[in-house]
Chains A and B, each alone.
Chain A
Amino acid sequence: MNLYLVKRILALIPVLFVVSVVIFLIIHITPGDPASVILGESATAQDVEALRQQLGLDLPIYQQYMNWITDVLRGDLGESYFMKESVSEAIFSHLQPTLSLAILAQIIALLIAIPLGITAALRRGTAADQTVMGFSLLGMAIPSFLLALFLILLVGVKLQWLPVAGYKPLEAGLWNHLKYLILPAVSLGAIQSALITRMTRSSMLEVLNMNYMKAARSKGVKERQLIYKHALRNAFLPILTVIGQTFGGLVTGAVVTETIFNIPGIGQLIINSVERRDYEVIQGVVLFVTCVYVFINLIVDILYGVIDPRVRLERK
């Protein structure tokens, strides 16, 4: 197991290297000069040139990359041009809302998807199955912002049960914190659950027909245990893959939902810094987001090993 882990982690190094080069190049090749953006249109050519030197933008590109990456490896992502904080501070302060939202949305998605997927698989071909599959199709078809707008209108405006937008940190109390997150989390989670439901259903159907299910039944295992212990654990690998993907998407890409509900998360940070051409921040956030994706995939890989001994033992 430890060897498996070390191998997985070592495999990440080249991935992260390539990613850092690509991010750096994209941002530096795109037209537009950070120095003139910072100084505004009224700046003289001399001032711009002076700032370029100060920022190191006059150096050859590989040298700029070397400077940047050595700083990054030391944990320094640079300074924002516009906000009075470092890039890491900016990311950190925007991460908390995004994480809260992502976790809550993921929990909601799983609470909807796993039971529905199992039910659909057990009652394959019945009206219950078709209803679940119908809703799942609908969920995959409509974008989450549409559901978000609908929820705002119904729960926020008409019923006035929950606030329509905004964010309070956890320090303001659990309910205050959750109150603002429920609507965005439901709109994200419900949409994410569509895919997970399908995966659960098809994966369960495959497992339910396996010989070992019949063998377990022949031992006298009860129906509930049969499904939740014997079948679900076997069916969980493909489900886990989808969960990893959707969670990665939630942490990094709930941009539209965060904007609609005015949540100061990573999504907003990306949008704002792109609008302001705050290059250091864009660079830092994109790198961070990639690392999050890679890290989530690593965790998924580790969980594979925990769930399935064949993964854990055969890769020795």
Chain B
Amino acid sequence: MTKPPLLEVNELKVHFYTERGRITAVDGISFHVNAGEIVGVVGESGCGKSVTSQAILRLLDEKDTVEYDGKILFEGTDLLQLPEAGMQKIRGNEISMIFQDPLSSLNPVFSIGSQIAESLMLHQQISKKAAFEKAIELLRMTGIPAPEKRVHEYPHQLSGGMRQRAMIAMTLACQPKLLIADEPTTALDVTIQAQILDLMLELNREQGMGMIFITHDLGVVAELCSRVVVMYLGQIVEEADVETLFAQPRHPYTKGLMKSIPQMDSDRSQKLHVIEGMVPTLDNIPTGCRFAPRCPYADYMCHERPPAYEEHAAGHKVRCWHAEKIAQEEEERSYVS
């Protein structure tokens, strides 16, 4: 415990001012990412995972709709206190981000090469020519064939997989210490997904950069991440390393998510498991545990008082009144089978 983590999010809250009043989309989340580590952030759409990722880079509209609370420490500096100019030096240089849909995230009127070169020229003293040469190198590194040719092409001329590779090349241009990937494979074909994931894992190993991998796909998490944070309705409900989480989930929501993964060897006549009910809207948050209305374990107390977020085993934090009971159940189940 000598080195501080690369990124430490501390009691982060993100409020939005909307027509329906102030809404808290992210409500006091804390987690950290160590250098070189891949942390998965999992949850349904609307749970606040994308808002969290954009808050880290301060990409949300701060002029009149967003307000932050808490701390986001990057190498000890609180990003929420930095002026815009300071953030501009960090964005794309120290921390960069891959977005969900590569086509809409690339500017259609500039060539791939000039968009990669732009990152380089923003953060390094480098000539346009050298930046383009480096862009070709980066494209080659991400496995794009004939990068000398591709560098002059425009986003609409590339396939979905190649666009995401180009996007990755762009984010890696300045060798950031932290990469935030916001559902980078959701918009891609399954076969391309696997290629992109392999590429990201390879780059993580080679360059030793930390990664926050945001997804709703637990399969991807199992393959890629070393630690997982599960979010529900603006809060973290469970955090554990990936083996523990899959072997002994302690939050009913995590359990539900896992059961929802279709199993190849299961009986096909059985219906897929679904988590009952719908995610409540943010202006209508339950008073007790936020998951209680959909939770099979919920009792009187769950509906009345919100459970605390506590460490139940080393590195395994859960926000549930029944965490111990669920842990026991899981143990018995694994004993039987």
Contact = CB atoms under 8 A, between A and B. Distances in A.
A310 B154 contact: yes
Nearest to A312: B154
Interface string B80-91: 000010001111
B104 interface: yes
Given A215-B106, A220-B92, 20 more contacts: A211-B101, A211-B104, A212-B107, A214-B105, A215-B107, A215-B167, A218-B92, A219-B96, A219-B171, A220-B119, A220-B122, A221-B88, A221-B92, A234-B108, A307-B109, A308-B109, A309-B108, A309-B109, A309-B154, A313-B156
Interface of B: 54, 57, 59, 84, 88-93, 96-97, 99, 101, 104-111, 118-119, 122-123, 154, 156-157, 167, 170-171
B156 A218 contact: no
Interface string A202-238: 0000000011101111111111000000100110000
B107 A220 contact: no
B108 A219 contact: no
B91 A230 contact: no
Interface string A41-53: 0000000000000
Counting chain A residues whose Cβ lies within 8 A of the other chain, the interface size class is: 20 to 34
A217 B107 contact: no
B99 A217 contact: no
A211 B108 contact: no
A221 B106 CA distance: 14
A44 B84 CA distance: 87
A222 B170 CA distance: 17
Contacts of B167: 215
Contact of B90 (A220, A221, A313): A220
Contacts of A220: 88-93, 119, 122-123
SS class, residues of chain A in contact with chain B: helix
Top-9 shortest CB links A-B: A219-B92, A220-B92, A220-B91, A211-B104, A215-B105, A218-B97, A309-B154, A212-B107, A211-B105
Nearest to A230: B107
A216 B107 contact: yes
Nearest to A219: B92
Interface of A: 210-212, 214-223, 230, 233-234, 307-310, 313-314
A211 B99 contact: yes
B84 A223 contact: yes
B91 A234 contact: no
A307 B107 CA distance: 12
A310 B118 CA distance: 21
Given A211-B99, A219-B170, A220-B119, A308 B108 contact: yes
B122 A221 contact: yes
A190 B24 CA distance: 45
23 contacts: A211-B101, A211-B104, A214-B54, A214-B105, A215-B97, A215-B105, A215-B167, A217-B91, A218-B57, A218-B96, A218-B97, A219-B92, A219-B96, A220-B88, A220-B91, A220-B93, A220-B122, A221-B92, A234-B108, A309-B156, A310-B154, A313-B157, A314-B156
Contact of B154 (A211, A217, A233, A313): A313
Contacts of B170: 219
Contacts of A234: 107-109
B59 A217 contact: yes
Contacts of A218: 57, 59, 91-92, 96-97, 99
A73 B108 CA distance: 42
A233 B109 contact: yes
B104 to A, nearest CB: 4
A219 B107 CA distance: 12
Contacts of B107: 212, 215-216, 230, 234
Contacts of B96: 218-219
Nearest to B84: A223
Contacts of A211: 99, 101, 104-105
A221 B101 contact: no
Contacts of B93: 220
Given A219-B122, A220-B119, A309-B109, A212 B104 contact: yes
Contacts of B57: 218
Contacts of A221: 88, 92, 118, 122
A314 B154 CA distance: 11
Contacts of B119: 219-220
B16 to A, nearest CB: 16
